[in-house]
Structure 1
Amino acid sequence: MKITFILAIAFAASTFNVSTKKNVDVVNSEITWKGRKITGEHEGTIKLQEGTLHFDGKKQLTGGTFIMNMSSLNVTDLEGEMKGKLEGHLKSDDFFGTDNHATSKFVITKVQGKNGKYKVTGDLTIKGITFPNTFDMTVKENNTATANLKVDRTKYEIKYGSASFFDGLKDKAIYDEFELNVTLKF
């Protein structure tokens, strides 16, 4: 009788701590980026290499991990030679250094909120350098999550064209922040 009672309590306790790990559909998910400079802006895409979202037994977001393939960095607002030049420059050591840092990673460390509206904090690693980033994320019942991140590139030693580090750039200056707009399907 005593063993049955202990097993019943153990089973009940385990049902309250059920968590679910959902793999992100990397083919149908999308990451777009936008960078701005004094004289305009550029935008493009980055492919997600892999990702997971974690939910508790009440279907509330609790965590996740995402790896972006930085070698897939694509410019979508230019064509031809100019597109190739900008993509090459963004992949160079002046920016993301994809020969040595082919991936970037985001690991969720804290989630606040409920019912699909969350404030997410996590560690973003770019070029082997990690800093925390906090943003809003919406998770919908159709297994879609969306977020918009603002990233200060200079924290990751991406200082090319930054007026924060170089004087006299005038209209050649590139803003330190860039945006990542993320739509995840899982």
Structure 2
Amino acid sequence: ARFIFGLCALIFALEHEIFAVADDAGSNVGGPEECRTDLTSVLPPPYSNISQSKLICMTVWNTFVLRHYQSEDGTLTIMLSAVYTTGWVGIGFSKDGLMVGSSAMVGWFNKKGQPKIMQYYLQGTVASKVKPGKGELPLTGVPAAVGLHSSRIYVAFQLKLSKPLARQPVILAFGIKYPKHHRLTH
């Protein structure tokens, strides 16, 4: 059986304008209300220190809400949230809009309730080709973070970009099983 990691590939503008991409039913689940959630008790600094007025926040797919902020020095802060019970949630970045060859950040809480986050390289579409601890994302020295608030998981990290990002193909994914030895399953 093929392991389908990428459930949804979207191209969205990382510009200073707000828009929303609705799901197939045309709703905006988690949109404006979720965007007003105070993150100070959910995520550590610097993620919780960014002013809500600077963050671009939008529903991007199903229950996935993306917050992002790009500073003048090229640091891109990403905060992804989604409804969560068990398993993992991830966001991948593609150079060409395809899953293969992309890098992703995946977050989860293990069975003991400990937060985990790891970069993965998507070398192929089968589980054995999804490589934990690998990837090409230019992470900053700021530790990535995972938080849980109400029924939502929050995955946050920063990228150091050499030039401002205008458009970026993104892969959103989730699995209902806990990663085993950092291996993702669906």
Q: Normalized against structure 2, the TM-score is what?
A: 0.28
* Structure with greater Cα Rg: 1
**Which protein has greater RCO, CA pairs closer than 8 Å, 6+ apart?**
2
Q: Normalized against structure 1, the TM-score is what?
A: 0.28
